Amino acid sequence: MSIYCGREFSADDIQTIKRLLEQDPALKRAPLSRRLCQLFGWTKPNGELKDMTCRVALLRMQADGLLTLPPSQMPGVRRRPHFPPTAATDAQTLLLQPVHELAALTLRPVTAAESRRWNEYIARYHYLGYTLLSGSQMRYNVFAGEQLVALLSFGASAWKLAARDRFIGWQPAQRLHNLQLVVNNARFLILPWIQSKGLASKILSLIARQLPQHWQQRYGYRPVLLETFVESARHRGTCYKAANWVHVGHTVGRGKKSRTHEQIIPIKDIWLYPLQKDFRSVLGR
């Protein structure tokens, strides 16, 4: 039994994939992933096929030597998206008022028309830069009145995280079944010219109240736990603490796809925020 992208694949499953490839050598990767999702019943809670996730799983199976996929239809090496700075994201006037003196804060999910500018802000001002999110996700612009003050994104949680899993009380089978109910705060950027005391924790409080409903509307289910990682040597996680997130431990620095037990990336603090009181019961089902 092998696990890829949170799903168990038996030896029979792998043979089924190989048979499909043998029966139709001209089958392209996208139709293959959709056919497999239909065959395996691999769907999101709202009934949509998890075909992008399936495609990632297939690529990892190929990397492990389990099968050979048809050639990619996108020739050449795919470059990481690049968003050079433009006047649209230039610095603005310094804002120093504390959060209680600002206009009302609003969270606005990023629209298609706003997507490139959001990416450019993150690429230009976030120390981790821009990284494409795959799978279920939400991106937000945060406004004080009509002034943009911050940007956030949320996506898939870490597959395996010892400190988090101990905090939940998870067994491997429970994690496999319920991981989608944990959502990761991948990026949080207060724009550099916005220096408003108390703003970050206020935004996190708004997120905790509004994200579950937004996620429900988009994907058909409500997450019950938020997680995030704060690079220990760079930040102390003060805003997460002020917003009542719980510090549960540290990462070991191996990264998502590492095949070694050695540290290869910076150690990070793990912070969690339960979105409902019975989160352990829900995640343990």
Q: Could you tell me the domains of the chain?
A: 2-63 (no CATH), 87-283 (3.40.630.30)
Across all residues in the chain, what is the average pLDDT?
90
Q: Look up residue 249 and give its amino acid.
A: G
What pLDDT, in 10s, does the model give residues 198-226?
999 999 999 999 999 999 999 999 999 99
3-state SS assignment for residue 206: helix
In sign, the C-alpha dihedral spanning 44, 48, 49, 55 is negative
What pLDDT, in 10s, does the model give residues 135-193?
789 999 999 999 999 999 999 899 889 999 999 999 988 998 899 999 999 999 999 99
Residue 49 clears pLDDT 80, i.e. is over it: yes
pLDDT at 42: 87
- Per DSSP, helices labelled H in 84-171 are 115-125, 162-168
Model confidence band, residue 261 (pLDDT cutoffs 50, 70, 90): low
* CA separation for the pair 157, 240 (Å, rounded): 17
What pLDDT, in 10s, does the model give residues 86-101?
999 999 999 999 999 9
Contact 239, 200 (CB under 8 A): yes
Contact 214, 138 (CB under 8 A): yes
Residue 256 clears pLDDT 80, i.e. is over it: no
Residue 190 backbone dihedrals phi, psi, to 5 degrees: -85, 125
End-to-end alpha carbon distance in the chain: 22
